Amino acid sequence: MRIRINGDTHEVDVDVRTSLLDLLREHLGLTGSKKGCDHGQCGACTVLINGRRINSCLTLAVMHDDDEIVTIEGLGSPAALHPLQAAFVRHDGFQCGYCTPGQICSAVGMLDEVAKGWPSLVSEPGTDAVALTDEEIRERMSGNLCRCSAYPNIVDAIRDVAGAGA
Amino acid sequence: MSDAKRTLVMDDPVEHSLLDGAQGVIGRPIDRVDGPLKVSGRATYAAEYALDDLAYGYLVAAPFGRGTVLGLDVEAAKAMPGVIDVVIDYETFLRNAQQGGETEAPEQGVREVAYFREPVAIVVAETYEQARAAGERLAVEGDRKPGLYSVADRLGEADKAPSGGAVEPHFANGDLDAAMAAAPVTVDVTYTTPSQNSAAMEPHASTACWGDDGLTLYGSYQMPASDREQLADAIGLEVDQVRIVSAYVGGGFGSKLGIAPESVAAAVAAKKLGRPVKAVMTRQQVFDATVRRSDTHQRVRLAATADGQLTGIGHDTICSNLPGEDFFEPAGTATHFLYAAPNRTIRHDMVRVNRVLSGSMRAPGEAVGMLALECAIDELAEKLGLDPVELRKRNEPERDPQKDVAFSSRRLVDCLDEGARRFGWAERNATPGALRRGEWLVGHGMAASARSNKLKSSEARVAVTADGRAVVETDMTDIGTGTYTILAQIAGEMLGLPLDRVEVRLGDNCFPPGAGSGGSWGAGSSGSSVYLACEGLRERLADRLGCAVDELTLKDGAAICANRQVALAELAGDGLATTGRIEAGKLDDALRQASYGAHFCEVHVNMVTGESRVRRWTSVFAAGRILNEKTARSQCLGGIVFGLGAALTEELFHDVRTGKIVNRDLAEYHVPVHADVPPIEVVFLPERDAYANPLQSKGIGELGISGAGAAVANAIYNATGVRVRDFPLTLDELLDGLPPV
């Protein structure tokens, strides 16, 4: 199969049981996406597929022929951080760092969902535009666990970037 | 490179700390130096080393809770695609994980199974998918025996816990029974807390690789110096034949203090097959076969005068552990010194049980012990009709009430006052159940926080290189605690270097043995070793400059003395290195050392559903010198939220019929998520503790959790008038007592 990851095209031949996450980590050396539960319960493996966030442990690699994947490595590098990556550093939005790539990829996807006006459980019913309150951020990011509990700092980082971009 | 060594035993206070230097980097809220690597996915964790010819291991678990393994259907597994071998070594495999700091292997031998899903073998295959498929299908035949699975039914079997733990298991002073009988106001209540799991985001993982020099293990471990000794003992090697690499650890919280079953399984398999083997636990295996915090059953007795003077404190805890294990949950630790009272009884007993090992989880002792103690104090305040802040202040001891020694530093009363002021405590509604907003009952609660401060032996080598940089090396770890950053700050401050000229290398047994991350001692201990190394370097630099060391100023890469300024690079020549070593000394026992704080929170309880939501939080701490305000605050946030989980959601369920852990994943074991966590205000009061270590700092990693859950529980009582003494405080326990909507 052929898959595009962070702009590079990879021709790969994988076991049909291989999750997208294991393809990234074990076959392509892209270990930035983390495995915390392998069951879609923690969000550490979140990547962007054609712009939308997804738990890469819950989807098989073979389902993504010709898809465009962006992982944490594709968002930025230590020398050229994505604005959200930089904001996470500035606001200390992590400690051990293991959930962090997933939090950041999830935040990228989440902000796009908000920009499109997709409502969440806590959104005001009947309005087209979603106001990105802290409550909205917390609700929409609740699929990404952080046992170090950097949650308040993550919200600060996301609000910081979203505010700058708005 | 010219090497030297400098050792300090903490027998005397260090009144003048060299950290108050010219560079001005210590204490400041500097961004983590490892941040860019972590946020870009470039930090390398234990399961992420690309080794040639790597094979994948998958642990095979016994499907019963007690009994004897008769055999495994090895041939069927080996017939599956890609399977290389099923490695069985009944004598060598670990029965259970080891506790932190031990220098010997934990209990070995897996033919006799002691808990449900104890790992008994490892399947190795060419790919992860193949190993997993075989491992899950591999039948384990066993002679099953009745197990000891329940604790609640067997409290009468509890025996005195073993000696040698964090506190003596039994302690008594005066006559508590007489004090209870004589007191006009008493509280005699029993609180229970369930088994919990650290649930670090990175599952336990070991990648084992043998070479001519012995074994290299890339492992997710908190204390590589002692983990190395445990691993060497387990597989019959000399200590210097084992090298553990734990450069980045995806959280630990106690669960990775000692080696766990996957380490030895990977090492044995790699040796047998002659190729590297990676064994990563599944999330379920982390729950099944690493370590839990013990469930506890805690009876707290308080005797007081009518004006709120405590005359007696009793704290009796029953916890549980596997047969033969010495660790007990020291729930009474803070009770020893938090409040004055002449008559005191603090006891720890244990029930033996066929459940996965119990051991250290963030603030072993205080985390659950202060749930009971600080809720009981709240109950006493209500009986007395006293403000709970005021009750605590009336029982503030001048000296340690048990050992009759001085406190090294203690600002608990200041924390209470400052917290109350910032939170607006005086304006709260003090009548339980009397404040309502729509369908929500609103409550406010508070609790004190205390966590013992410890110093552990630790070494670090600091080199000033020929190009005028500093390189810090120790096998100390950074498990999210900020070690990379604070050690860089300490070296930068002491040697007068901006942080971009300090490199910190951690988590590798190639470096001097560090204290490891645990018990809140990491920063103080490993930081002191770096301090001492730099202190030695400063003397040698002064010597080379021809000036007295107390006239030397190091700043921005230059050595300055008596109107002369020389670049550090020039003074360093081919390079200078000094190894620093800190050891605990007489001050450990001569004073009571602890960090303190106060938590205040607002909780809303829904009258229809019974759900509790924490809405507002203020904590004030005093923990000696704060080395980095940003990372220190994050440590406290993390602790507070851990406490919030303990109060509201976290509970491991053991099936008492089979010994099985029922909720063994993150969908069923509920750690707090974004939506559960309100804005949290964390304030540090200025403090220095010259008795603690040369940095004058105290531990903070576990201070946040201590007392935090009690503040939540007390707020829920204030909101609803329902006092629940069985943690976590889930909605089913509240519903019956809630007023009609």
Q: Are residues A90 and A155 in the same domain?
A: yes
Neighbour tally for B585: CB within 10 Å: 14
Q: Is A1 exposed, middle or buried (0-12, 13-18, 19+ CB in 10 A)?
A: middle
Q: Is B569 exposed, middle or buried (0-12, 13-18, 19+ CB in 10 A)?
A: middle
Contact A75 B40 (CB under 8 A): yes
**Residue A69 pairs with which residues in a beta bridge?**
A5, A49
- Per CB-CB distance under 8 Å, the chain A contacts of B36 are 78-79, 81, 85, 89
The token pair at B123 is 């399947």
Asked if residue B332 has pLDDT above 90, the reply is yes
Nearest-CA neighbor of B682 among B418, B377, B426, B338?
B418
Which of B37, B201, B700 best probes binding to A when mutated, by most A CB atoms within 10 angstroms? Answer: B201
**B98 Cα distance to chain centroid:** 15
Cα–Cα dist B238/B358, whole Å: 28
Instruction: Compute the nearest-CA separation of B318 from chain A (Å).
Output: 27
Q: Interhelix angle for B483-495 vs B522-545, to 10°?
A: 20
**Domains of chain B: which residue ranges?**
2-26+457-582, 404-453+593-741
Which of A14, A30, A72, A95 best probes binding to B when mutated, by most B CB atoms within 10 angstroms? Answer: A95
**Host domain of residue A126:** 83-165
**Residue B7 pairs with which residues in a beta bridge?**
B581
**Confidence bin at A129 (pLDDT 50/70/90):** confident
- Per CB-CB distance under 8 Å, the chain A contacts of B247 are none
Nearest-CA neighbor of B3 among B594, B579, B453, B444?
B579
Dihedral of CA atoms B322, B328, B331, B334 in degrees, nearest 10, equals -160
The token pair at B247 is 């450069």
Q: Report pLDDT digits (tens) over B415-471.
A: 999 999 999 999 999 999 999 999 999 999 999 999 999 999 999 999 999 999 999
Q: Are residues A87 and A153 in the same domain?
A: yes
Contact A89 B680 (CB under 8 A): no
Nearest-CA neighbor of B696 among B494, B477, B523, B580?
B523
Nearest-CA neighbor of B252 among A149, A100, A147, A92?
A147
Q: Are residues A123 and A70 in the same domain?
A: no
Nearest-CA neighbor of B479 among B26, B34, B27?
B34
Q: How many domains does chain A have?
A: 2
Please give the mean pLDDT across all residues of chain B. 97
- Per CB-CB distance under 8 Å, the chain B contacts of A78 are 36-37, 40, 42
The pLDDT of B66-76, averaged and rounded, is 97
CA distances to B274, B319, B648, B716 from B729, rounded to whole Å, are 52, 20, 5, 9
The pLDDT of B293-317, averaged and rounded, is 98
Q: Are residues A22 and A57 in the same domain?
A: yes
State whether residue B382 is helix, strand or coil.
helix
CATH of B2-26+457-582, one of 3.40.50.300, 1.20.1250.20, 3.30.365.10, 3.40.50.1240: 3.30.365.10
Cα–Cα dist B490/B23, whole Å: 10
Q: Report pLDDT digits (tens) over A3-55.
A: 999 999 999 999 999 999 999 999 999 999 999 999 999 999 999 999 999 99
Q: Which residues contact B32 (CB under 8 A, 6 or more apart)?
A: A89, A92, B38, B482, B484, B485, B630, B631
| pLDDT for the residue numbered A164 | 61
Dihedral of CA atoms B24, B26, B32, B33 in degrees, nearest 10, equals 70
Neighbour tally for B662: CB within 10 Å: 12
Q: Are residues A61 and A134 in the same domain?
A: no
Q: Are residues A117 and A95 in the same domain?
A: yes
The token pair at B351 is 């029930």
Contact B251 A148 (CB under 8 A): yes
Cα–Cα dist B506/B600, whole Å: 37
Contact A97 B50 (CB under 8 A): no
**Fold match flag (B2-26+457-582 vs B404-453+593-741):** yes
Asked if residue B214 has pLDDT above 90, the reply is yes
- Per CB-CB distance under 8 Å, the chain A contacts of B251 are 95-96, 98, 147-148
Contact B201 A137 (CB under 8 A): no
The token pair at B501 is 């000229």
Neighbour tally for B348: CB within 10 Å: 30
Contact A152 B637 (CB under 8 A): yes
- Per CB-CB distance under 8 Å, the chain A contacts of B133 are 17
Cα–Cα dist B612/B731, whole Å: 7
Cα–Cα dist B691/B454, whole Å: 11
Which of A35, A48, A106 best probes binding to B when mutated, by most B CB atoms within 10 angstroms? Answer: A35
Complex ipTM value: 0.98
Give the whole-number percent of chain B exceeding pLDDT 70: 100
- Pick from A47, A75, A103: which residue ends a domain? A75
Asked if residue B1 has pLDDT above 80, the reply is no
CATH number at residue A92: 1.10.150.120
Contact B35 A89 (CB under 8 A): yes
Q: Phi first, then psi: give them for residue B481, nearest 5 degrees.
A: -80, -15
Which residue of chain A is at minimal alpha-carbon distance from B48?
A31
| pLDDT for the residue numbered A166 | 44
**Confidence bin at B166 (pLDDT 50/70/90):** confident
Q: Are residues A57 and A95 in the same domain?
A: no
Cα–Cα dist A25/A8, whole Å: 16
Nearest-CA neighbor of B654 among B147, B161, B262?
B147
Q: Which residues contact B695 (CB under 8 A, 6 or more apart)?
A: B17, B19, B490, B523, B524, B527, B528, B531, B624, B625, B627
Cα–Cα dist B219/B209, whole Å: 11
Across the interface, of A85, A96, A139, the residue whose CB is closest to B39 is A85
Question: Which amino acid, residue A21?
Answer: L
**Residue B87 pairs with which residues in a beta bridge?**
B122
Of the given ranges (A24-38, A152-166, B650-664), which has the lowest mean pLDDT? A152-166
On whether the CB atoms of residues B468 and B455 are closer than 8 A, the answer is no
Q: Are residues A47 and A94 in the same domain?
A: no
- Pick from A27, A47, A75: which residue ends a domain? A75
**Buried b / exposed e along A126-135 (16+ C-beta atoms within 10 A):** eeeebebeeb
Nearest-CA neighbor of B21 among B489, B665, B349, B700?
B489
Terminal-residue alpha carbon distance, chain B: 76
Which of A72, A135, A137, A148 best probes binding to B when mutated, by most B CB atoms within 10 angstroms? Answer: A148
**B413 Cα distance to chain centroid:** 25
Tell the residue number behind the tokens 């809303």, with chain if given: B604
Q: Phi first, then psi: give them for residue B108, nearest 5 degrees.
A: -110, 160
Across the interface, of B40, B47, B250, the residue whose CB is closest to A96 is B250
The token pair at B322 is 């596997």
Beta strands in chain A (DSSP E): 2-5, 8-11, 46-49, 52-55, 68-70
Which residue of chain A is at minimal alpha-carbon distance from B664?
A37
The pLDDT of A85-97, averaged and rounded, is 98
Contact B130 A95 (CB under 8 A): no
Cα–Cα dist B664/B672, whole Å: 16
**B579 Cα distance to chain centroid:** 27
**Confidence bin at A128 (pLDDT 50/70/90):** confident
CATH topology (fold) of B404-453+593-741: Aldehyde Oxidoreductase; domain 4 (3.30.365)
Instruction: Compute the nearest-CA separation of B516 from chain A (Å).
Output: 15
Cα–Cα dist B484/B469, whole Å: 16
Nearest-CA neighbor of B182 among B323, B39, B304?
B304
Q: What angle do CA A72, A77, A81 make, to 5 degrees?
A: 90
State whether residue B205 is helix, strand or coil.
strand
Across the interface, of A41, A44, A88, the residue whose CB is closest to B665 is A41
- Per CB-CB distance under 8 Å, the chain B contacts of A34 are 45, 201-202, 250
Q: Report pLDDT digits (tens) over B220-252.
A: 999 999 999 999 999 999 999 999 999 999 999
**B197 Cα distance to chain centroid:** 12
CA-based max dimension of chain A: 47
- Pick from A75, A105, A139: which residue ends a domain? A75
Catalytic residues of B: 702
Q: Report pLDDT digits (tens) over B531-570.
A: 999 999 999 999 999 999 999 999 999 999 988 999 999 9
Q: Is the peptide bond before B388 cis (omega within 30 degrees of 0)?
A: no
The size of the A-B interface in CB pairs under 8 A is 187
CATH number at residue A12: 3.10.20.30
Contact B640 A89 (CB under 8 A): no
Tell the residue number behind the tokens 């204390």, with chain if given: B223
On whether the CB atoms of residues B61 and B270 are closer than 8 A, the answer is no
Across the interface, of A33, A89, A152, the residue whose CB is closest to B679 is A152
Contact A37 B253 (CB under 8 A): no
Across the interface, of A42, A77, A78, the residue whose CB is closest to B201 is A42
Terminal-residue alpha carbon distance, chain A: 39
| DSSP state letters, B447-467 | EEEEEE-----EEEEEEE-TT
Q: Phi first, then psi: give them for residue B563, nearest 5 degrees.
A: 65, 10
Neighbour tally for B576: CB within 10 Å: 22
Cα–Cα dist B372/B375, whole Å: 5
Sign of the CA dihedral with B688 first, then B690, B691, and B692 last: positive
- Per CB-CB distance under 8 Å, the chain A contacts of B39 are 72, 76, 81, 85-86, 88-89, 94, 97, 100-101, 104
Contact B201 A34 (CB under 8 A): yes
Q: Phi first, then psi: give them for residue A59, nearest 5 degrees.
A: -135, 140
Which residue of chain A is at minimal alpha-carbon distance from B81?
A15
How many Cα atoms are found within 13 Å in the side-chain-facing hemisphere of B483? Answer: 39
Question: Which amino acid, residue A19?
Answer: S
CA-based max dimension of chain B: 82
Contact A41 B666 (CB under 8 A): yes
